[in-house]
Structure 1
Amino acid sequence: MIIIPESAIAELITSSDCLKAVEEVFASMANRSAYNFPVIREAIGHADALYGFKSGFDRKSLALGLKSGGFWPNNTSRGLTNHQSAIFLFDADTGKCRAVVGGNLLTALRTAAASAISIKYLARKDAKVLGMIGAGHQSTFQLRAALEQRAFEKILAWNPHPDMLSRLEEVAKEEGLPFEAVDRDRLGAESDVIISITSSFAPLLKASQVRAGTHLACMGTDTKGKQEIEAELLAAATVFTDEVEQAITIGETQHAIEKGLIRKEAVVELGAVINGTHPGRTSQDQVTLFDGTGVGLQDLAVASAAVELALARGVAIEVDF
């Protein structure tokens, strides 16, 4: 069995590696060559933690396995990231455990890759202003990945706790881009692309605040009850997602579905755009929205990529198991 500890991931895999892996698995999902198993996500009644499993199988790549982990909100005081996880890969021919891979950084990278892919395929080519809602741990990964997809000229940002915006400002400074902390009205009125990455349970952005032609990547809602975007905004947009069933139950789309504002059939898999079976954006004025719920196959794809890179570089830890 191969072990790749969390400490080895940063030197092993790049954001570009993750983008390629996630893009391929989105395409495989849309082709029905890959599928996710039902998600388990529960409050465990200890440490205010959410814990669960995401798993699946890709018949094309033969990636089979699961990610186990969750959200421990008090970890920051312990010097740990709040999201903790490990990814287990199994041999599709024998069922034998093939690898255990640290999942914390990979989760951040694959989540950022998903929103970046949505920008690649759905944002206007002339997008110049990037708006960021949220400034937590994941936000800098989102920002860096987005900046690789369009020639953005300015970054606007809002966060419930303004002091946390400094981490985004530092990234903007590294990239030589102007940065402004603004209110949500201005962010919506001026942004060509908006990324939301919060743990909110109440809408932070209204339909009236978003201008025509905007692309939104909504990346924070992955649990029943969470909500970053007003449901009416989804009704006004063309909605894309990683997996439709997950989006309508635990994603941003759940609220628009519950209100009867959109139908399940109107939600499009991003993989269909990648495969060319859906046109994606069809006009400059169209509002597009990606509901990124995070699926197990993304985790398996990036973990598999990390394993192959570790083997190729001779740094994989192999043990009898």
Structure 2
Amino acid sequence: MLVIGQNEVPELLSMKSCIDVMESVLADLSSGQAVQSLRQVLPLQEGNLLGLMPGYLPREAVAGAKIISIFPHNHHAGLPSHQGAVALFDSVTGVLKALVDGQKITAIRTAAVSAAATRVLAREDASTLAILGTGEQAKSHLEAMLLVRPFGRVKVWGPTTAKTQQFQAEMSRKFDMEIVVAESAQHAVRDADVICTVTASGEPVLRREWVKEGVHINAVGACRAGDRELDSALVKQSRLYVDRLESAHHESGDYLIPLREGAIGPDHIVGEIGECFSGKIKGRGTLAEITLFKALGLAIEDLAAAQFIYNEAVRLHKGMEIAF
């Protein structure tokens, strides 16, 4: 068995490669060429969670699962909110091929999926990006977004001023560009062409009256039925795509809460983003419409990323081989 640690994952899985991998595997999922079970979640103390995410990629002849802890308030202790590992099995022999760090996979593949969605849903002339949130996903989303649109302006807002300023300084140096710290979420998004919400909030941080026509939104942070980042009016006015219908129907507060309120109907979801990638359904229809991609994170994304990493590790002689 090959063990691939946290420091090696970014070396083996570039954001650019991951965007293409995610587009391919999500198209496979929507066409029935990949299989997964709904995420199993075990509640822990103080709102923390332990998740099990199994899946199967017949085309790659691999199966496996990610087991991950989700501790939303870990940033207070200087720890990541998502930590775990992906176990990768050969689906022909049942052999455990690899154990891959799940924290970095989650950071990279989540942003890569948002970038793939942005590539097909955002306006071609999108030039201003707003990011709500300042954690690991904010950093990875900035990297991913810069690969799919030539953003000249980036604005960021976070609930903690010091962390927002730290994000601004670090990312400005890394990408050699000016990043503006906004005084509020409203000021961050008011002229944005693309918005990424990557917060730990369970209440709306983004409202319809703040955003302009033609914006594209990647809503990433809320992953439980009772949590949301967007208000109902914004969801109602948006052309909504999801990563997986089954997951949205069970886990997405951004969809379920407006549905319970009667703001939207059960047919409000246009479809899965994988169907958009394969051309089965269309993306943006007009320059003025608001497009919304709601991501919850899927097992097949983790498996596809882990399989890519494994192949690269074998090719480049990376990782640690252990008897198991």
Which band: TM-score by shorter chain?
over 0.9
The 5 A counterparts of 1:1-321 are 1-45=1-45, 49-73=48-72, 75-76=74-75, 80-169=79-168, 170-182=170-182, 183-251=184-252, 252-267=254-269, 268-321=271-324
**Counterparts of 1:14 and 1:152 in 2: how far apart (Å)?**
20
User: Matched residues in 2 for 1:264 and 1:23: separation?
Assistant: 26
Q: How many correspondences in the alignment? A: 320
Q: Say whether the 8 Å CA contact 2:5–2:319 is kept in structure 1.
A: no
Distance 1:78 1:210, change over 3 A: closer
Tell me the distance in 1 between the aligned counterparts of 2:228 and 2:58: 33
Distance between the aligned counterparts of 1:73 and 1:26, measured in 2?
26
Mark the runs of 5 or more structure 1 residues left unpaired by the alignment.
Answer: none
- Segments of 4+ moved more than 6 angstroms: none
CA distance in 2: counterparts of 1:261 and 1:93, whole angstroms: 47
CA offset at residue 168 of structure 1? Answer: 3.4
Q: RMSD of the TM alignment (CA)?
A: 1.8
1:184, distance to aligned residue in structure 2 (A): 2.7
Q: Distance in 1 between matches of 2:166 and 2:281?
A: 37
- Tell me the alpha carbon deviations over residues 227-256 of structure 1, each in whole angstroms, 9 at most, x when there is no partner: 100022111010011101212321222222
TM-score by length of 1: 0.94
Separation in 1 of the partners of 2:225 and 2:290?
A: 25
Counterpart of 2:257 in 1: which secondary structure? helix
Q: CA separation in 1, counterparts of 2:297 and 2:72?
A: 19
Letter in 1 for 2:128: V
Q: How much does 1:208 deviate?
A: 1.2
1:211 and 1:89 map into 2 onto residues whose CA distance is: 43
Would the aligned equivalents of 2:85 and 2:99 in 1 still touch at CA under 8 Å?
Answer: yes
Shift of 1:78: 6.0
Partners of 2:14 and 2:235 in 1: CA distance: 32
Change in Cα spacing, 1:135 to 1:76, as seen in structure 2 (3 Å) is closer
Residues 88, 20 of structure 1: alpha-carbon distance in 2 compared, 3 angstrom cutoff: same
Deviation for aligned residue 1:7: 3.0
Percent identical pairs in the alignment equals 28
For 1:292, give the aligned amino acid.
Answer: A
Instruction: State how far apart, in whole Å, the 2-side matches of 1:277 and 1:97 are.
Output: 35
Structure 2 regions of 5+ residues with no counterpart? none
Q: CA deviation at 1:53?
A: 0.5
